[in-house]
Amino acid sequence: MEMLHYTAEHRRFRERLRSFCQKEVIPNIEKWEQEGLVPKEIWQKLGREGFLCTAVSPEYGGLGGDFLYSVIALEEMTRTNHYGLDAFLHSDIVVPYIDSFGCEEQKKKYLPGCVSGDIITAVAMTEPDVGSDLASMTTSAVEEGEDVIINGTKTFISNGFNCDLVVVAARDPAVENPYQAISLYLVEASTAGFKKGIPLPKLGVHSQDTTELFFTNCRIPTKNRLGHKGTGFPKLMEKLQQERLLVAILAKTMAEFILEWTSDHLQKKHAHNGSKSIPKALQFALVEMATEVKLAKTFLEKLICDHMEGKHIVAETSMAKYWNTEMANRIADRCLNLCGEFGMLESCPIVRTFRDVRVTTIFAGTNEIMKGIVAKSLGL
């Protein structure tokens, strides 16, 4: 019995998005990868078709859909075998900060543009010398009258070059307790004192615009703060459950794509050579990997149901995030081996997947952080 109940509307949404990706995304992937950037125009096309920020209320231009729309959007975009167009980060990780914690003025100002694709968002947490330890961030936010002055550097910011709006985590240096010092601020790309670095060259995800962001006496109005002062850390923690669940779904879908492509490739290769079936050793390898993917999918469907019911599943999503990302990396490595010499060529589609999947063990909190969270939940 299927745990996830997709309606006719869900299925139509999936079909429309799959058709959109076939027409607008897949033919352009190689060009975007070579240029190292996805053009903003594709974001606007996604927005016009209703594929961005599906959870946002119709009051602000959104679909007002449930979490299954987010799952569908992530799966279909992932199945293009391209991860430079980081729409799920925008739609389901960054924009929810505005949707959940923004005041009415902020929602009316920014959400319609986020839905339409005219505003691309990013979230700036990570710093050069801090990494996963958010409590140790040094980017400062000092209130001065009706303004806030931000100084500091953020790094490894996805959507950083294309972004029009950034949710910035910064701390009040006058507050000693780091968990009470952090606030979240909305910074527009045109703000004086805010500068973007060039996209960072990376092992994989070549067309994803990952950059450094620099804040030098960057002055914004205090009304750009999300919620009350000093509440940034619990806000970040609250949204990490959904972020890590989405990364686990991303990794599972990458593993599905790799396995399906490899199975099809091996069957065609051996049929071309006159064999009725592929060798038993290859069959067994594929069976072992298919079992892992099936187990991952079943666990994730349970977590999706729990998440949609509002359950607190931080430990479970941490388990899923670390296990699925490591599983996807294992499958990418093993399938390349099964492809033999062809697995060394750029013309082999899963070569790109092999590079791109590597970062999934790092972002949204490293897998070591995930295991620490689970250990704590077990009373260890």
Region for 278 from its dihedrals, namely left if φ exceeds 0, alpha if ψ lies in -120 to 50, beta otherwise: beta
Block residue for tokens 């960054």: 94
Q: Which positions ≥6 away from 274 have C-beta within 8 Å?
A: none
Tally of CA atoms within 13 A in the half-sphere of 240 that contains its CB: 21
Instruction: Supply φ then ψ for residue 239, to 5 degrees.
Output: -85, -10
302 Cβ neighbours under 8 A, 6+ residues apart: 3
SS (H, E, C) 33-47: HHHCCCCHHHHHHHH
3-class DSSP assignment, residue 335: helix
The residue from 76, 127, 243, 256 that is catalytic is: 243
The Cβ of residue 275 has, within 10 Å, a number of other Cβ atoms equal to 11
Strands in the chain per DSSP E = 121-124, 140-144, 147-157, 165-171, 182-188, 194-196, 211-221
Handedness of CA 12, 14, 19, 25 (dihedral sign): positive
Structure tokens at 285: 């390898």
Dihedral of alpha carbons 315, 360, 41, 226, sign: positive
CA–CA gap between residue 51 and residue 28 (Å, rounded):
18
Tokens representing 298?
Answer: 């079943």
Checking phi first, is residue 198 left (phi over 0); if not, alpha (psi -120 to 50) or beta? beta
Map residue 306 onto helix, strand or coil.
helix
DSSP string computed for 268-296: HHHHHTT-SS--HHHHHHHHHHHHHHHHH
Beta strands in 95-173 (DSSP E): 121-124, 140-144, 147-157, 165-171
Catalytic site residue 243?
yes
Q: Which residues are catalytic?
A: 243
